[in-house]
Structures are given as structure tokens and as C-alpha cells.
Amino acid sequence: MRIVVLAGGIGGARFLRGLKQAVGPEADITVIGNTGDDIHLFGLKVCPDLDTVMYTLGGGIHEEQGWGRSDESFAVKEELKAYGVGPEWFGLGDRDFATHIVRTQMLGAGYPLSAVTEALCDRWQPGVRLLPMSDDRVETHVLINQDGEKKAVHFQEFWVKLHATVPAEAIIPVGAESAAPAPGVLEAIAAADVIILPPSNPVVSVGTILAVPGIRAAVAKAAAPVVGLSPIIGGAPVRGMADKVLAAVGVETSAAGVALHYGGRAAGPDGTAGTGLLDGWLVDTSDAAAVAGVESAGIVCRAVPLWMTDVDTSAEMARAALALAEEVRRA
């Protein structure tokens, strides 16, 4: 079975670890990773979401933190600080630095990001094919209103430095409109048996991937069923600050709000044709009251436990998503 997953960082990676356990080694999983979070620091190209997926699936992740390397040390960061060289707010550890050095060196030698990612994965053996959404530079910027002064900052500055405490008025995937999907992305979507939107951030992870011209249309017209899992439980993000970016794009922070934001592919019960992406949607059992509203938009909806407390619970979520995909598969 060919499975395609559009993934951000922590939520996507943890779901993928469960999916791998659920389907076993014979399934063919392609991950289309968000690169809108990418940032240049100290002359190095850092790809936080690709690395979170690679480290999580390859056994190198800092388990409690959910990002960065396990057994990490920070000697380089301390030395940079001694030189007065920042930023200090972005935590890059010594082991992690090596990844960014290899990546930057290969990019400098002319390899596209997709080839670099494949080379990095040679070491980590994540057990999935990890493709960046695009080889072209796309950078998510956030228009903030800081004490009446409007300015655009890099997503990482908004998220990591400001902890999303400043009101966001718009989210702009700079460069997306002229970016092309990376080699293999559209082909994987077209050839998929199942397409999954994991519990990743719908705006700055999945939304950014969908902003690359051609990707949204490919998902919308794919032969495979498209199912998603809510990253919102009980009106709040499970971890992180997704509510801040959902508000910036005018979407209610709820399991149903995110489903309606993605939209339904099928015609609704009222006969209207869907213009969205989803055939099926999973909400947490505590959000069972949201099921009817989602279904009235033509999206088949089920309530199951959606807390990824460990690999087994994530695998159970993956099985529920695959079962829902079979249920909504078109004849």
C-alpha cells in the first residue's frame, strides 16, 4: 500500500512513527515535509521540520522535547555566545550542528534540497521516503502587530523568540507562489492508495505545503481517499500555539473548524459539490459532539482517541485513519 503523508514537525513525526508500526515494513510511505520553517542561522541552512521527522523516525530525537537530538551538548552555542554571535533564542546543539553543516555544504556544491535530504536519510534510515515539499526557498513570515507597529518577522522569530505572544495578523509563505513541488511530490500524490493529513499544524505546516502551486490541486483530484486527524482537541492545540496562527487566518480553534478549513471533497448531503480536500476526518472522543457538523460538510467523521501519548496510541490512531480511508474509498 502506497501512503502519502503531508507532515510538519512534532505532530507529523509522532504520527508517522505510529503509522510505521501500524502498517509494518512492507508499506511504502512517502512523507511530503514542510520547509516553510527553514531558516539560515550562522551561515547554515536549518530545516527544522524535515529534521524532526528524520530524527524521530531514525531514533535520534530528543524524546521529551520532541525536536533536536538526543544526548545533545551545547559547546558550539556557548562558544558563539562568547563571541557575541547570536541569535541565542534558537537552540542548536552540537550534534544537530553537524546535520546543518552537511546540508549547507551539499547545497553549496549544487545539490537540490531533495537530494541533500535523501543523503541525510541514508544515515538515519527513517523507513519512509522523505521529500521536501519543494527544492525552492519558501519562508513563512508572520505579520505581527507589536504595540501598534506592524512588521513581518520570520516564523521562527514569532514562534521561538516571541512564543507567539504578539498578535499575528497574517501568515505569508514568502516565495511559495513561485516555488515548484520537489521531484516526486506530485507523482507520489497521484500514485497514492491513501493520503493522510496527520495532526500537524493546519496553517504553518500543512497549509504551507498546500501553498506550493500544484500540490493542493493534486491532493484535491487524487484517486486515493484523503483523511485527516485533528491537531485540536477540546478547542485547544495539544501542544504548541496553533490557535494563534488559526486566528490569524480566521479559522476557529476547534476540531470542526480545522476540518471545514480543509474542506470536503465530496458533495455535501445538501447536494453542493465540495471544493476542499477531505473525504474523512478524525476528531478526539472528547469532541464527539463535533461529528455531525463535520459530516454536514460532506466529510465522513469519526471520534476516536487522538492523544499520541506513546507509539502504541499513535499506531492505534494510524489504524483508525486507514480504516476510515477504506470506508470512504470511492468505488
Residues that bind ligand GDP (CB under 6 A): 7-12, 49, 52, 199-201, 205, 230-231, 233, 237-240, 242, 306-308
- For residues 106 and 277, which CB has a smaller minimum distance to ligand GDP in the complex? 277
Of how many residues is the chain composed? 331
Angle at 222 between CA 221 and CA 226, to 5 degrees: 105
- For residues 52 and 114, which CB has a smaller minimum distance to ligand GDP in the complex? 52
Grouping H, G, I as helix, E, B as strand and the rest as coil, residue 83 is coil
- For residues 100 and 266, which CB has a smaller minimum distance to ligand GDP in the complex? 100
CB 257 → ligand GDP: shortest distance, Å? Answer: 12
Picked from Ca ion, ligand GDP, none, the partner binding residue 264 (CB below 5 to 8 A depending on kind) is: none
Alpha helices, H only, the chain: 10-23, 48-58, 75-82, 94-108, 113-124, 155-156, 185-191, 206-210, 215-221, 242-248, 255-262, 291-295, 311-328
155 — phi, psi (to 5°)? -50, -40
User: Residues interacting with Ca ion, by CB under 5 A?
Assistant: 8-9, 37, 49
- For residues 11 and 181, which CB has a smaller minimum distance to Ca ion in the complex? 11
Give the pairing type, strands 232-233 and 236-237.
antiparallel
DSSP string, 113-137: HHHHHHHHHHHH--SSEEEESBSS-
CA dihedral 168, 174, 176, 178 (to 10 degrees): 150
- For residues 106 and 317, which CB has a smaller minimum distance to ligand GDP in the complex? 317
Number of Cβ within 10 Å of residue 295's Cβ equals 18
Give the pairing type, strands 226-229 and 168-174.
unpaired
Residue given cell 512588521 in the structure block = 151
Picked from Ca ion, ligand GDP, none, the partner binding residue 240 (CB below 5 to 8 A depending on kind) is: ligand GDP
Picked from ligand GDP, Ca ion, none, the partner binding residue 276 (CB below 5 to 8 A depending on kind) is: none
CB 95 → Ca ion: shortest distance, Å? Answer: 20
d(CA 234, CA 302) in angstroms, rounded, equals 15
- For residues 178 and 285, which CB has a smaller minimum distance to ligand GDP in the complex? 285
CB 201 → ligand GDP: shortest distance, Å? Answer: 3
Picked from Ca ion, ligand GDP, none, the partner binding residue 231 (CB below 5 to 8 A depending on kind) is: ligand GDP
Q: For 134, what's the count of Cα atoms within 13 Å in the CB-facing half-sphere? A: 25
Cα 51 to its chain centre, rounded Å, is 12
Look up residue 161 and give its DSSP letter. I
Picked from ligand GDP, Ca ion, none, the partner binding residue 74 (CB below 5 to 8 A depending on kind) is: none
d(CA 322, CA 308) in angstroms, rounded, equals 16
CB 48 → Ca ion: shortest distance, Å? Answer: 6
CB 140 → Ca ion: shortest distance, Å? Answer: 9
- For residues 123 and 239, which CB has a smaller minimum distance to ligand GDP in the complex? 239
Q: Which residue's C-beta sits nearest to Ca ion?
A: 9
Picked from ligand GDP, Ca ion, none, the partner binding residue 173 (CB below 5 to 8 A depending on kind) is: none
CB 296 → Ca ion: shortest distance, Å? Answer: 31
- For residues 114 and 156, which CB has a smaller minimum distance to ligand GDP in the complex? 156
CB 81 → ligand GDP: shortest distance, Å? Answer: 25
Picked from Ca ion, ligand GDP, none, the partner binding residue 280 (CB below 5 to 8 A depending on kind) is: none
CB 1 → ligand GDP: shortest distance, Å? Answer: 22
